[in-house]
Copies of this chain bind each other. A is one copy, B any other.
Amino acid sequence: MLDNKEQNLTPLDKLGEFGLIKHLTESIEIHNESTVKGIGDDAAVLNLEGNETVVSTDMLVEGVHFNLAYVPLKHLGYKSVMVNLSDIYAMNAVPSQILVSVAVSNRFPVEALDELYEGIKIACKKYNVDLIGGDTTSSTSGLILSITAIGSAKKENLTYRNGAGENDLLVVSGDLGGAFLGLQVLERENEVFKVNPNTQPDLAEYDYIVGRQLKPEAGKHIVELLEKLEVKPTSMIDISDGLSSEILHLSEQSGYGFKIYEEKIPLDPMVIKTAEEFGINPITCALNGGEDYELLFTISQADFPKIKGNPNFTVIGHTTEQNAENYLILQGSESAVPLTAQGWNSFDDE
């Protein structure tokens, strides 16, 4: 019944991930006053009384989001929690609970799930989050993880994707491109291992970027730091798909164009060195690589003195005008390249 027997059926990859979500959700109606924000941001916001409740969910599929040949299950558990908490922090909120659903095929022994849950529990403990429910079921092939995170924030502290104003500064936490290059290293070592199973991969010289891929951290310290510095971002998003893609989200939702400067994009020396080794421009890794789980946010210029010189933050650009295009200004020139989303898309036929 699901074969393409009829004409005019649209293949999934035609719409792309964001297009598909939009297509599926645009006619959804909101029925409850308690629904402050539904689909369309990093997380949904509920006003169930007093503080606002923030909820977000993500699904991770073996063979699509991760390869168990080089991703240890403990790391997978940890990372899958981080991916979800990151969405809560991107609302300037604090996560407090998660629910975890797991589907696994019979090829997994109990001990494999123990490893997975070990990583989940370590993440919960470190981030002071309670695992409060979930579902465990079998799958016909592979491992699928679905996690829902719940958090809260004072209404006045919540930060949406749509709040940027004219000439706001664009700020990013940490550095970018490492998670993508860590993945390239892991995939290369896996290819070597497949050819010669007696080789032991030496990942020591890539420790930072491999760690960025296997064990990312969510933006808890950044949200705490912003509160301490009394900086309320005008908009915020987490970097899961790549800097370009996230900037386009902030632009689309606020209506403002963005201009970013190549020389300002924060890169770790190991990112530069490894990108060179792979023959890739490190800026491309930052723009399109994704999975860095840093926070990207806009602040009003009045707040600039509060973050100036802070090593956790880098101002990489600013908003321009309503309905303007988004540009990358190349280093050492006046050349402006339009920003395009070439981030990760799970429906691509790669």
Contact = CB atoms under 8 A, between A and B. Distances in A.
Interface of A: 1-4, 6, 9-15, 17, 20-21, 23-25, 27-32, 34-35, 37-39, 43-44, 46, 48-51, 53, 55-59, 61-65, 68-69, 72, 96-97, 99, 101-104, 106-114, 117, 121, 124-125, 128-142, 144, 146, 148, 150, 152, 346-347, 349
Query: How many of these chains are in the complex?
Result: 2
Nearest to A96: B32
A230 B334 CA distance: 74
Nearest to A349: B106
A286 B114 CA distance: 35
B48 A106 contact: no
A24 B113 contact: yes
Given A61-B103, A62-B140, A125 B46 contact: no
Given A35-B96, A68-B2, A59 B20 contact: no
Contact of A138 (B53, B61, B68): B61
A137 B65 contact: yes
A131 B37 CA distance: 10
Contacts of A21: 136
Nearest to A40: B133
Contacts of A138: 12, 61, 64, 346-347
A78 to B, nearest CB: 15
A4 to B, nearest CB: 6
A110 B55 contact: no
28 contacts: A9-B110, A12-B110, A14-B110, A24-B113, A25-B131, A27-B121, A28-B121, A28-B131, A29-B130, A31-B128, A31-B129, A32-B97, A34-B97, A38-B132, A38-B133, A44-B133, A50-B50, A55-B97, A55-B133, A56-B99, A57-B133, A59-B103, A59-B144, A63-B140, A64-B140, A99-B148, A106-B349, A140-B141
A192 to B, nearest CB: 16
Contact of A39 (B6, B59, B132): B132
Nearest to A135: B59
> Taking each of A4, A65, A140, which has the highest tally of chain B beta carbons within 10 Å of its own beta carbon?
A140
Given A2-B112, A9-B110, A131-B25, A49 B50 contact: yes
Contacts of A24: 113-114, 117, 136
A103 B63 CA distance: 12
Given A32-B96, A51-B48, A39 B134 contact: yes
Given A32-B128, A59-B146, 14 more contacts: A1-B68, A11-B106, A12-B108, A23-B110, A28-B121, A31-B124, A48-B48, A56-B133, A59-B137, A59-B144, A64-B137, A99-B148, A137-B346, A148-B148
Contacts of A50: 48-50
Contact of A11 (B109, B131, B135): B109
Nearest to A140: B63
